[in-house]
Each structure stands twice: as structure tokens, then as C-alpha cells.
Amino acid sequence: MNTELPPGVSIDVYQGRFDYADHSLEIAVANHGRAPLEVVSAEFSSPTFTPAAGYARVPTTVRPGTSTDLKVLLPPAVCAAEPGDPVVAIDFTIEGVAYRVTMTPDDRLGQLPKIAAEDCRGEFVAEVATIEAASGFTETTIDGRPAAELEFTATPTGQGGILTIDTVRGSPLVSLRDPVTGIVGETVPLELDIGSAKGPVPFTLTLIPARCDPHVVQEDKRGTFFTFTVTTRQDTGVIYLGVSDAVRSALYDFVALSCGWDRH
């Protein structure tokens, strides 16, 4: 059994923009040789992401001169894990020759530390409060423009701790209106001290369609995720909060109606 990658075969990992929502990672297998490569099994693991995440759709053929992405679902990061290198374990054959390789892949875009930091930031947020979007929104008109008012609620767990919601940023689908200045833009300050709150803290986002391009809905993967900057006992950074499928669909309809086109 061969335990080293043959010449012309390389492996790295990355998270594409369509992978964020389901917390997945791509194991990219590049085959620059002259014969097909057939993947029999593949899995990703690291001290930070355990247990190992296996690729389910095997066997998979990587044709000569191509690269194939093997999507695996990452487990949540282990925040107390000791540092260590990620590992890809892969079994494959080329022209009947079997390989079983365990290796440290390149982190193509340097994303693994960021994914772990976001996971752990979310864990520290959850210690102090849950933050959820409402199950619906209200359509209105503000300054002659169609708008949607979507309420979020931060509900303390009762454990106390450090948690402030500092700002929120919109998305490719919707911009935000600052209720104080009336300015429509990408980011709105919130400055909510949730760690000191004695009860639920509601706050409302006023959404304005960001673009009247049908492709913004047709190709959307991130338009109904909102980027919150928070401060926790770990650090200051971002978390991403989405909405329910029903609210997502209703927001698509709202943008379509506001822009004067039919998305169906």
C-alpha cells in the first residue's frame, strides 16, 4: 500500500462562499496526472474539529487534468483544544494501484483559524444569551421607499457575563437604515449591553432592498444572513445570524415586489 501522494496529485482544503450556511469544508483533490484517480474514502480532522468529517459520496472519480471538491460537514470547533495541524486521510486508486495517504493539507485561504474563532465566539455568545430573528416582518414605507422591519430578540440565559452587540451589517440583498440618522447603508450601530440585561432585549432592523437585480435573489446564498459585531469574553468579532426559511422566502418576495419584478 502506497502512503505518499504520487507526482501530479495534490490536496488542499478551503471553505467556499456557498459552504458557510451548512458549516462545510471542501477537500480539493487535484489530479495533474494522465490517468483517472478514484477516491475510495476521504475524511478531514484536526484537534480543533473532532470527530473526523467523512466524505460520503464515494467512489468519486477525479479525471486527469481536473480538480474535484469533496464536501464534508465540519463538526463545531472544540474551543479548549490544544493546537495541532489539520489532517486529511484519503484512500484512492490510480490504474489499479492503491494509495492510503494521511497528510497535512494546505489551508488554501487560511480559513481554518477563522472558522474555529467564529464557532467559539458563537459558543461564548450562547453562554450569555440567545439571539433570534422574529418569525415574520412588517412591510412599510419610509421616506417614500419600501422597507421591511425585522425584529430580533436577545434573551439572556441568566448566567451573566460579557456580551455586547456593537453593530450590524446588511447583506447583498438588503441594506440597513439607521433609525437615528435616517442614513441607509451597510452598517448600523446598536451598542446593546446584553450581559447586564435583566430580561429580553428586542431590537428592530429596518431593511431596504440593496439591489434591484433579479440575480441577487436567484443566486443568493448569503442575503438573509446578518453580520453582527459582538464583544464576548473571548474577543470582539463577528457572528452571522440567519432567518427562518419562511422569512427568507418572504424577504425574497418583498425585494421582488419592491423592485417591480416577479421572482417566480
CATH topology agreement for domains 9-110 and 117-259? yes
Mean predicted confidence (pLDDT) in 175-181: 94
pLDDT at 134 over 90: yes
Instruction: Please give the pLDDT value at position 216.
Output: 66
Q: Which CATH number fits domain 117-259: 1.10.540, 1.20.58, 2.60.40, 1.10.3470?
A: 2.60.40
**Closest by alpha carbon to 210, among 174, 186, 182, 176?**
174
Tens of pLDDT, residue by residue over 190-229, are 999 999 999 999 999 999 998 887 876 766 666 588 999 9
**Average pLDDT taken over every residue of the chain:** 93
Q: Does domain 9-110 have CATH number 2.60.40?
A: yes
Side-chain half-sphere CA neighbours of 193 within 13 A: 5
CA distances from 259 to 138, 154, 245, 249, 256 (A): 17, 32, 21, 15, 5
| Domain ranges across the chain | 9-110, 117-259
CA distances from 30 to 5, 39, 42, 141, 241 (A): 11, 12, 14, 52, 34
Instruction: Please give the pLDDT value at position 261.
Output: 81
Between 4 and 225, residue with greater pLDDT = 4
Q: How confident is the model at residue 97 (pLDDT cuts 50, 70, 90)?
A: very high
Instruction: Please give the pLDDT value at position 6.
Output: 96
Q: How confident is the model at residue 137 (pLDDT cuts 50, 70, 90)?
A: very high
pLDDT at 249 over 80: yes
pLDDT at 264 over 70: no
Mean predicted confidence (pLDDT) in 133-145: 94
Between 173 and 86, residue with greater pLDDT = 86
Task: Report the predicted TM-score, pTM, of the whole model to 2 decimal places.
Answer: 0.79
